[in-house]
């Protein structure tokens, strides 16, 4: 289901819809692909298109494949006479133009052919009825460019350049993509997602030339999902006990990393206070 305030509105919202009773295999595939473009919390509705085992093992946050257009579905692929009533397969195809890895790092690619099989079986569902469900599915999301641009935004997280022996420390931008609004998997706001990726460290391509002042293992405290400045424009960032190892000078540099990282994301942060896990 799609909702927009007016035709052509960039703020399109897609709602995940559960598979209907007695849905054909092609409907299950189409519903799964459509549901991936939604903000379905935890992808709970999206997982209802999967078999019980696939629902438990599918990892949507493993990365995102970006296609020039929404993926095409072809099939069904023919199976042996004995199996065609209980299993079937479809192939997703398209032109792959970019990928986002588990570090949220965006990599544009020379357009290449994309092909991925989805395998379906008949399985008993909660009400005891037998329905078609996808039991073989790749981890991560597969999105067309337009959906990717709607769902994600580019942010810069900042680390200190290494190898400088004099002068002021230099902050270097490390661009990543985070979910616009609330992330379906973590339920974190955009600002919170951005701070989390900052704490996880630089992306692989930048790691050799930068350094983070956050002690190894520093993370947001559990259940922190909505970082926001107070009415004095002070952002308080609750950290776990690993942050307690940092001295006062390091804490100032850690706060600077957060402040620079969030300055393009929100104009409401004028000061950062780090709260340790003691």
Q: In the predicted model, is pLDDT for residue 193 greater than 80? A: yes
Could you report the per-residue pLDDT of 81-115, keeping only the tens digit for each?
A: 556 678 999 999 999 999 999 999 999 999 999 99
Backbone torsions φ then ψ of 167, nearest 5 degrees: 80, -175
- CATH topology for 2-146? Nuclear Transport Factor 2; Chain: A, (3.10.450)
Q: Where are the domains of the chain?
A: 2-146, 151-275
CB within 8 Å of 230: residues ≥ 6 apart:
236
Model confidence at 6, pLDDT cuts 50, 70, 90, reads very low
Quote the percentage of the chain above a pLDDT of 90: 78
User: What pLDDT does residue 264 have?
Assistant: 79
Nearest to 139 by CA among 38, 60, 237: 60
pLDDT by residue (tens digit) across 116-145? 999 999 999 888 899 999 999 999 999 999
- Cα–Cα distances in angstroms (integers) from residue 149 to residues 64, 71, 113, 156, in the given order: 12, 15, 21, 16
Contact indicator for 260, 212 with CB cutoff of 8 Å: no
HSE of 10, CA atoms in CB hemisphere, 13 A = 6
Q: What pTM value is reported for the model?
A: 0.87
Peptide bond into 76 cis (omega under 30): yes
């Amino acid at each position: 289901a799609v909702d927009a305030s007016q035709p052509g509105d960039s703020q399109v919202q897609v709602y995940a819809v559960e598979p209907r009773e007695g849905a054909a295999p092609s409907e299950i595939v189409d519903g799964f692909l459509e549901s991936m473009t939604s903000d379905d919390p935890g992808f709970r509705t999206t997982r209802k298109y999967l078999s019980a085992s696939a629902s438990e093992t599918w990892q949507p946050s493993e990365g995102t494949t970006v296609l020039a257009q929404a993926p095409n579905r072809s099939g069904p692929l023919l199976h042996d006479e004995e199996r065609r009533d209980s299993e079937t397969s479809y192939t997703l195809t398209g032109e792959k133009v970019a990928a986002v890895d588990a570090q949220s790092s965006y990599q544009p690619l020379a357009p290449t052919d994309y092909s991925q099989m989805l395998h379906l079986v008949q399985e008993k569902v909660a009400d005891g009825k037998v329905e078609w469900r996808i039991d073989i599915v790749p981890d991560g999301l597969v999105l067309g460019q337009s959906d990717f641009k709607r769902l994600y935004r580019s942010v810069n997280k900042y680390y200190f350049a290494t190898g400088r022996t004099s002068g002021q420390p230099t902050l270097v931008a490390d661009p990543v993509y985070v979910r616009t609004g609330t992330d379906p998997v973590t339920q974190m706001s955009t600002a919170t997602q951005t701070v989390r990726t900052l704490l996880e460290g630089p992306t692989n391509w930048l790691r050799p030339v930068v350094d983070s002042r956050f002690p190894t293992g520093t993370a947001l405290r559990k259940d922190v999902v909505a970082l926001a400045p107070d009415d004095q424009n002070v952002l308080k960032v609750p950290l776990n006990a690993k942050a307690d190892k940092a001295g006062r000078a390091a804490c100032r540099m850690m706060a600077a990393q957060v402040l620079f990282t969030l300055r393009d994301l929100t104009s409401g942060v004028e000061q950062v206070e780090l709260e340790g896990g003691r």
